[in-house]
């Protein structure tokens, strides 16, 4: 985490440094990122950088903290439109709300996605706790769906988790890749064409896992 000297800076200066770091990780990832470029693009000296951070890993860890804080604030007043939604409808709502978040903070999400997924750091020991929190939430959701008769009971729960995680990552990657080409990413995400494409992706996932009518008849 940053040293106290970083937090002693004016808000504008802190933002300038973090914007430079976020852009660096979004463009180059963590492994190929350059402290020299972060320093040059933020308008500070290299000596000052090391007064604020231990190294570029320290900067990235703080960006992860920033993402978590922004997500908590963003989702604080978000509520599903219907309290009686089934598991798949709720999952669809979560995905679409997450898309809204990604489009509100595209460069921040792009930087973290590139490092965690493109470079594979999400699956390392360092991020094990974060990964387990995510998979446990999906595990609970899937088991509840099976108990409610919404999901095929023969589904392997761990494979279902992998499928839902993969679909989520694929949708996020699509939104970031295509959305960054747009002049107004939020308007593009909310457009009918984009929403229909996401619906089709979610449909494929849902009906690979959902309990079918024939299964209902067989167990009736």
Whichever domain contains 187, its CATH number is 1.10.357.10
Question: Are residue 113 and residue 36 in the same domain, yes or no?
Answer: no
d(CA 51, CA 217): 67
Domain extent, residue 45, equals 4-63
Cα 22 from Cα 27, distance rounded (Å): 9
**pLDDT (tens digit, 9 = 90+) per residue, 100-156?**
888 888 889 889 888 887 787 877 888 888 888 888 989 998 999 899 888 888 889
Domain C-terminal end among 33, 63, 93? 63
Q: Do 44 and 107 reside in the same domain of the chain?
A: no
Q: In this structure, are 58 and 89 located in the same domain?
A: no
The more confident residue out of 14 and 76 is 14
Sorted by sequence, the CB contacts under 8 Å of residue 36 that are 6+ apart come out as 46
18 against 178, higher pLDDT: 18
List the alpha helices (DSSP H) in the chain. Answer: 4-7, 11-28, 35-42, 46-52, 56-75, 87-104, 106-113, 128-147, 157-179, 185-190, 192-209, 213-219
- Domain total for the chain? 2
Higher-pLDDT residue of 212 and 92 is 92
Mean pLDDT of the chain: 86
Q: Are residues 56 and 151 in the same domain?
A: no
Shared domain for 23 and 127, answered yes or no, is no
Are both 131 and 168 inside the same structural domain? yes
Give the pLDDT of residue 214: 47
Whether 69 is in a domain gets the answer no
Task: Tell me: do 179 and 212 sit in the same domain.
Answer: yes
Q: Are residues 35 and 121 in the same domain?
A: no
Q: Are 47 and 20 in contact (CB under 8 A)?
A: no
Instruction: Render pLDDT for 187-202 as a digit per residue (tens, 0 to 9).
Output: 888 888 888 888 888 8
* Residue in this structure with the two tokens 């679409």, named with its chain if needed: 96
25: domain CATH number is 1.10.10.60
User: Do 18 and 93 belong to one domain?
Assistant: no
**Residue range 38-65: mean pLDDT, rounded:** 95
Q: Is residue 70 part of a domain?
A: no
Question: Does 83 fall in a domain?
Answer: yes
Is residue 215 very low, low, confident or very high in pLDDT (cuts 50, 70, 90)?
very low
């Amino acid at each position: 985490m940053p040293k106290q000297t970083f937090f002693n800076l004016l808000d504008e200066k802190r933002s300038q440094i973090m914007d430079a770091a976020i852009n660096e990780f979004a463009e180059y990832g963590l492994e190929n990122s350059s402290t020299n470029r972060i320093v040059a693009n933020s308008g500070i000296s290299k000596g000052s950088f090391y007064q604020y951070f231990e190294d570029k890993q320290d900067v990235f860890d703080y960006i992860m903290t920033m993402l978590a804080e922004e997500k908590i604030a963003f989702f604080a007043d978000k509520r599903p439109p219907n309290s009686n939604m089934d598991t798949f409808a709720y999952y669809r709502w979560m995905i679409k709300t997450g898309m809204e978040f990604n489009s509100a903070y595209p460069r921040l999400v792009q930087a973290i996605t590139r490092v965690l997924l493109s470079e594979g750091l999400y699956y390392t020991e360092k991020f094990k706790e974060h990964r387990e929190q995510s998979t446990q939430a999906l595990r609970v959701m899937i088991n509840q769906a099976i108990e409610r008769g919404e999901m095929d009971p023969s589904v392997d729960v761990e494979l279902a988790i992998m499928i839902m995680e993969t679909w989520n990552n694929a949708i996020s990657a699509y939104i970031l890749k295509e959305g960054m080409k747009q002049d107004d990413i939020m308007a593009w995400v909310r457009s009918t064409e984009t929403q229909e494409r996401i619906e089709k992706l979610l449909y494929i996932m849902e009906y690979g896992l959902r309990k079918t009518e024939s299964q209902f008849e067989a167990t009736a």
